[in-house]
Amino acid sequence: MTNPTDRNAALAARDLKHIWHPCTQMHDHETIPLLPIVRGEGAWLIDAEGRRYLDGISSWWTNLFGHANPRIAAALAAQAQTLEHVIFAGFTHPPAIELAEELVRITPPGLDKVFFADNGSAAIEVALKMSFHYWLNQGHGGKTRFIALTGSYHGETLGALSVSDVALYRKTYAPLLLTPFLAPSPDAWEGEPGETPAQVATRRLEELRALLERHAHETCAVIVEPLVQCAGGMRMYHPDYLAGLRRLCDEYAVHFIADEIAVGFGRTGTMFACEQAGVSPDFMCLSKGLTGGTLPLSAVLTTQHVYEAFYAEYAAGKAFLHSHSYTGNPLACSAALATLAIFRDEPVLERNRALAAHLARRLEPLREHPHVAEVRQTGMIAAVELVADKATRRPFAAEDRRGLRVYLHGLQHGALLRPLGNVVYFMPPYVASASELDLLVEVATAGIERAVAD
Ligand SMILES: *Cc1c(COP(=O)(O)O)cnc(C)c1O
């Protein structure tokens, strides 16, 4: 890859002259090649030299129905030739109206109002501000704090980072952030030996109750990633926690914010993860898969009740104040509508159930591996937890970057896998075939073998 005539290397060199990439120590690119992708096709990414990589992580969990999906592309092209954008204050447009109708139709009952933003973190900012402002408008200005779960990730703008608890992203910027109350995550991996996931959930709810008992009077909302804490290492928990959380939020008069940015749109086996507990949150944040992975867009859904707390004569000063230049962008709304149409027209969730079962069978042998402490799965998210010592679950040292070795092995063998620390995970596009999943598992298994050697 260092041959200067090589097309990938030439593009990478040009990139590195001016571009600063996210979530990257740029120095790494002195030894790790930056990969220029020029085309996508189904679950595959194709580089400048025609090499193909199976997108095992849906390009940061955004892509649902494949790259360059023809149906979404056609909707986008038509919209681009009709109306690309219009200010969303004082004006509206059909794609936003239809999208709001569709989101209200498919989300859990009671979520009847839609506020658009343009990425996941921005949706979190909106939900936090809206919850705080609701309580203020109701005469409870003393509610200024939030409760977040340990191991949570809600984005990296300052507000979203404030309610996140992944040290890698948070530690450095901590002096700039709000300080949430942290409730222990119901993450089943953190359970006591012999404890079932449901028992962990029950115990964690008691701890949450104790926290609410002391702090509910100053707390606006509890924010959680339903069922799977994704960036925190694909940590999974029992739906009972969400049902109990709903009851506690009602009992203690705090909002329940469901961050379904990563888990929404069929990822966990149901359209939304909250459905598995039969609950409706007060706020639901959506993004990532919303446009099928084509354009940035996010939405915060809330209740008529919350909306009404802001609805008053102008002079009352109760209006919600938050705006982005590209709020409700028509192109992004069209991409979202085309994506949701695929869910309507095709048996996506059934197909996913079969694919998820297939993936589970293929991953089964890894459970026996001496450096695999757990293989866990929720729908179309599967994760393999690598450890230095299986009996004690002692982790590999972070500096060893075992996950990076899996990543590099993957690229050499035609698969994009991007482990989170020592957690190798699979979050494929829904259009991946059973044999494509087989390839992902084969490459990952060989990559794990290499990564744990020495
Ligand atoms: C990715 C993610 C976000 C942030 O979304 P961005 O679009 O990356 O800002 C928030 N919450 C969860 C659960 C996520 O996975």
Residue 9 lies in a domain: no
174 and 44 part of one domain = no
Question: 121 in ligand 1 pocket by Cβ < 6 Å?
Answer: yes
Domain range for residue 368? 35-68+348-451
In the structure encoding, which two tokens stand for residue 407, read together? 């990543």
Distance from Cα 35 to the centre of ligand 1, integer Å: 23
Distance from Cα 252 to the centre of ligand 1, integer Å: 27
CATH number at residue 54: 3.90.1150.10
Q: How far apart are CA 450 and CA 38, in angstroms?
A: 29
255 and 338 part of one domain = yes
Ligand 1 atom showing the smallest separation from residue 230 Cα = 15
| pLDDT band of 3, cuts 50, 70, 90 | low
270 and 363 part of one domain = no
Question: 120 in ligand 1 pocket by Cβ < 6 Å?
Answer: yes
- CA dihedral 393→397→400→403, nearest 10 degrees, is 50
340 and 426 part of one domain = no
CA-nearest residue for atom 10, ligand 1, is 154
Q: How far apart are CA 55 and CA 382, in angstroms?
A: 14
Q: Which amino acid is at 322?
A: H
pLDDT at 119 over 60: yes
**How much of the chain exceeds pLDDT 90, in percent?**
98
Q: Which residues pair with 299 in a beta bridge?
A: 116, 286
373 and 396 part of one domain = yes
| Residue from 240, 213, 225, 245 nearest 163 by CA | 225
135 and 194 part of one domain = yes
For 357-396, b where at least 16 C-beta lie within 10 A, e where not — what string? ebbeebbeebeebebbbbbbbbbbbbbbbbbbeeeeeebb
Residue that is last in its domain, among 313, 345, 377: 345
CATH number at residue 188: 3.40.640.10
Domain count, the chain: 2
Residue 30 lies in a domain: no
Kindly report, residue by residue over 396-435, the tens digit of the pLDDT.
999 999 999 999 999 999 999 999 999 999 999 999 999 9
Among 57, 60, 154, which residue has the most ligand 1 atoms within 8 Å of its CB, making it the best to mutate?
Answer: 154
Ligand 1 atom showing the smallest separation from residue 229 Cα = 13
Residue that is last in its domain, among 324, 345, 366: 345
| Residue from 152, 401, 349, 180 nearest 261 by CA | 152
| Residue from 369, 301, 292, 365 nearest 332 by CA | 292
193 and 309 part of one domain = yes
Give pTM, 2 decimals. Answer: 0.98
| pLDDT band of 454, cuts 50, 70, 90 | confident
